[in-house]
Structure 1
Amino acid sequence: MKRDRPARHLLGATAGVAALVPVYYLTEAAARALRSGNAAFGPAPAGLGYLAAVAVIVTLLTAWPAAALGCGVPLAAAGLLFALNLDAAIAMAGTLPWARAGGLPWSWPDGPPWAEMGEPPGTLAGMSGLYALIGALLVLSALIPGRLRSILDR
């Protein structure tokens, strides 16, 4: 049982890094839906749905410290970059997939615009501190003592 511990950590880190993409884009979709609802002075049920999906993924990741770190450290770093150097963060977000299309992976060409001109995916959630908050929570969840941890890490 002890010999396969490094393999379990590697598998957990891989799962965390794989979860980074949906968490990143779902968080941005939630921020944009909430902004649209705020601008229209109306409810934003899509924003709540996207945030609920992020909450489910984050809850699953917190059960496995390696996965929480694999997703949390890059998110916290992105949040820190947005807090410290907004221009560099926006330039970095502009290099991500789907940034040139001006939308999110599931946006459609004739539908509502997901991004303002020159606003790549990740900008709104990064500027609002969502990435820093989610990343910090994931990293802190990985620091919980082993006796309080889920059976997934035993």
Structure 2
Amino acid sequence: MRDRRARHLMGAAAGVAAIVPVYYLTEAAARALRTATAAFGPAPAGLGYLAAVALLVTLLTAWPAAALGCGVPLAAAGVLFALDLDAAVGVAATLPWARTGGLPWSPPDGVPWAELGEPPGTLAGTSGLYALIGAVLVLSAVLPARLRSILDR
């Protein structure tokens, strides 16, 4: 019993830790896709960011506690963006790296990816990506065990 509880706690902690990369990678993908659309060109960076998000989400779905730990906050962020955009942008403006305009992995002399009036998460939040990813994670955790990923066995 104690081992099971510890496994759930570790899963929830892993899910909460995954919020930051999923949040910022999703936003980076949305911005790269928007930039490519505006330039009427390809978006290999957007595809790469989306692939990284898909990989993380796939790994999280293998562990229901981790999927809930990441999915519930992302779904809540998506709902906040859908219901009250001003409040969501205000919350996003308080997140780490919001004022510097760079991603955690960006070089210090790199081009800023965020506009001053558009904090990180705004584009992915308004487009519904956080709500979608959060819903997928939550649903993957509440599905019966036989319908979940084969990685959980």
RMSD: 1.6
Superposed counterparts of 1:2-151, under 5 Å: 2-108=1-107, 110-150=109-149
The CA distance in 2 between the partners of 1:121 and 1:132, in whole Å, is 16
TM-score (norm 2): 0.93
Cα offset, 1:118, TM superposition: 1.5
Asked whether the 8 Å contact 1:107–1:114 carries over to 2, the reply is: no
CA deviation map 1:15-65 (0-9, x unaligned): 000011000000000000001101110000000000000000000000010
Q: Which amino acid aligns with 2:67?
A: A
The CA distance in 2 between the partners of 1:54 and 1:79, in whole Å, is 16
TM-score (norm 1): 0.93
Asked whether the 8 Å contact 2:81–2:125 carries over to 1, the reply is: yes
Asked whether the 8 Å contact 1:103–1:121 carries over to 2, the reply is: no
* Structure 2 counterpart SS, 1:4: helix
Q: Which amino acid aligns with 1:113?
A: P
Q: Which amino acid aligns with 2:46?
A: G
The CA distance in 2 between the partners of 1:27 and 1:119, in whole Å, is 15
Cα offset, 1:150, TM superposition: 4.8
Asked whether the 8 Å contact 2:99–2:116 carries over to 1, the reply is: no
CA deviation map 1:99-133 (0-9, x unaligned): 01123223345433312221111111001100000
Which runs of 5 or more structure 2 residues have no equivalent in the other structure?
A: none
Q: Which amino acid aligns with 2:141?
A: A
Which runs of 5 or more structure 1 residues have no equivalent in the other structure?
A: none
The CA distance in 1 between the partners of 2:130 and 2:10, in whole Å, is 23
Moved >6 Å (runs of 4+): none
The CA distance in 1 between the partners of 2:82 and 2:150, in whole Å, is 36
Cα offset, 1:83, TM superposition: 0.3
**Greater alpha carbon shift after TM alignment, 36-45 vs 143-152:** 143-152
**Greater alpha carbon shift after TM alignment, 83-92 vs 103-112:** 103-112
